[in-house]
Chain A
Amino acid sequence: MKKMITLNVNDREYDLVIPVNRTLTQVLRENLKLTGTKQGCGVGDCGSCTILMDGRPVNSCLVLAAEAEGHKIETIEGLSEEGQLHPLQQAFVEHGSIQCGFCSPGMILSAKALLDKNPSPGETEIREAISGNLCRCTGYQKIVDAIQSVAKKV
């Protein structure tokens, strides 16, 4: 069964005809060629597929693309503006928080959702916010440092 849907991704509308069993991860990567969103485990454990849906981070591997219609979707590609990296992206580069980079889009989006809600989180809140995003490389400390550097000091 196929369905016509309109997706709002990074403030752009896309009209698509997709098989209804496609996940949002698949449609973002394969139909829209937005390959910043990664597919790791496919079952909600790793967070590499994290996107923002109406500002909230979710595992896009467990969302049917058809169910994303009517919601505002944000992916890692939507963060930079006019070639300028988002402060979080810049901080990840500067703090060496990216090694293989597979977790980075998801990490950055989880961090963005936190900072949008709470501009000056403490370390515990930062670690809690990224607790659904696994990183095999960095040991997390440099990621936490990067997020902390962007958080407003109170």
Chain B
Amino acid sequence: MLLPKFDYHAPTTIDEACSMLGHYGAKAKILAGGTDLLVHMKKRLLSPEQIISLNKIEGLKEAFSQNGTGLVLGPLSTAAYLADSRLIQERISVLAQGASRLGSPLIRNRATVGGNLITARPASDLAPPLLVLSAKVTLKGPRGERTLPLEDFFLGPGQTAVQADEILTKILIPNIQGISAGAYIKLGTRKALEISLVNTACFLELAQDGSIKLARVALGAVAPIPLLTPSVSKILAGVKPKNMDDPVFREAARAAAQESKPITDHRGSADYRRYMVEILTWRTLKNAYSQLMEKV
């Protein structure tokens, strides 16, 4: 499969990339790891005249902690980096877990977090973990910079709030105050190179008195966008579960299933997916809560 023709640019600063993108507008596409863009171009779903690569810009490949505000992920951080980084594993393990399940080891060495969010696949392995971590994204364009919560970012399959002349420059993960834990489960029909049938991420944070201060669950592949489930947060907020087998987790899981909007396709039926949302949400919540019990 051959790539269509295009012109190639490799700016060395974000500002330069922004002004190129501003100049070419919708005729141009940003290139990060290329694992989505080049596939789409080979299949002739896209034929941009101009390719603007971010890969010669320094300092976009890593995560660092920003005093006071939280963690910053560079948009070119690869899935392999996120899966293996000590910082990510220790501070926000749910993201490391999601990243470790993306594609194959070969794909993970190229696939970036920025590209993953902009592609906005409903089955993304990075979006649910980032949604439960209350991530925000910073976009830069000719009209300046703006930051928005990830939950306002996805609009539909392949559609996001990003304008054609904007670049995703940062992902921010706000500080976590109390004791917290997360969990991620991806369900597929095989172990590698698999598009999820259903995936679920959860994040729990405890208050001083041992009650749940914050609970967030996000689902993949069961709606047109990676989906946060506010009803789960409502059911669990302020609750002090007896242990990980407390029925409140099953109740929350049932609510997650009700919020999901799965479709039937060759990978699985809507009913099966909805039931799996309940089971997997239940399992991730129990897993995260048992981690919390070990920490207190």
Contact = CB atoms under 8 A, between A and B. Distances in A.
Nearest to A113: B105
B8 A47 contact: no
Nearest to B2: A21
B296 interface: no
B104 A132 contact: yes
Nearest to A114: B105
Interface stretch (B106-114, B154-162, B178-186): B106-114
B103 A132 contact: yes
A44 B109 contact: no
Contacts of A56: 80, 109
Given A21-B3, A45-B193, A1 B103 contact: no
Contacts of A116: none
Given A57-B105, A58-B110, A132-B105, A44 B8 contact: no
Given A56-B109, A58-B110, A67-B53, A1 B104 contact: no
A43 B10 CA distance: 23
Given A20-B7, A58-B110, 9 more contacts: A1-B6, A1-B7, A20-B51, A21-B3, A43-B42, A45-B193, A62-B38, A110-B106, A131-B191
A54 B192 CA distance: 23
B239 interface: no
Interface of A: 1, 3, 19-23, 42-45, 47, 50, 53, 56-59, 62-64, 66-67, 110, 128-129, 131-133
Contact of B34 (A47, A64, A132): A64
Given A42-B1, A62-B35, A21 B6 contact: yes
Closest 8 pairs between A and B when the two form their complex, measured CB to CB: A132-B104, A131-B192, A42-B1, A20-B8, A132-B106, A21-B3, A56-B109, A1-B7
A59 B103 CA distance: 12
B4 interface: yes
Contact of B39 (A47, A62, A63): A62
30 contacts: A21-B3, A21-B6, A23-B3, A23-B38, A42-B42, A44-B35, A44-B103, A45-B193, A47-B104, A50-B106, A53-B109, A56-B80, A57-B109, A58-B110, A59-B35, A59-B106, A59-B107, A59-B110, A62-B34, A62-B35, A64-B8, A64-B31, A66-B10, A67-B34, A67-B53, A67-B55, A110-B105, A131-B193, A132-B106, A132-B193
Nearest to A117: B84
A66 B103 contact: no
Nearest to A132: B104
B5 interface: yes
A131 B104 contact: yes
Nearest to A49: B106
B6 to A, nearest CB: 6
A43 B103 CA distance: 12
A78 to B, nearest CB: 18
B80 to A, nearest CB: 7
B109 A43 contact: no
Interface residues of B, number: 31
Given A21-B3, A45-B193, A131-B191, A58 B106 contact: yes
Contacts of B31: 64, 67
Nearest to B56: A70
Nearest to B6: A21
B8 A132 contact: no
A118 B6 CA distance: 40
Contacts of A3: 8
B84 to A, nearest CB: 10
Contacts of B105: 57, 110, 128-129, 131-132
Contacts of A131: 104-105, 191-193
A23 B37 CA distance: 13
Given A44-B39, A67-B55, A20 B6 contact: yes
A62 B110 contact: yes
Contacts of A58: 106, 109-110
Contact of A44 (B7, B10, B107): B107
Contact of A43 (B1, B6, B53, B192): B1
Contacts of A21: 2-6, 8
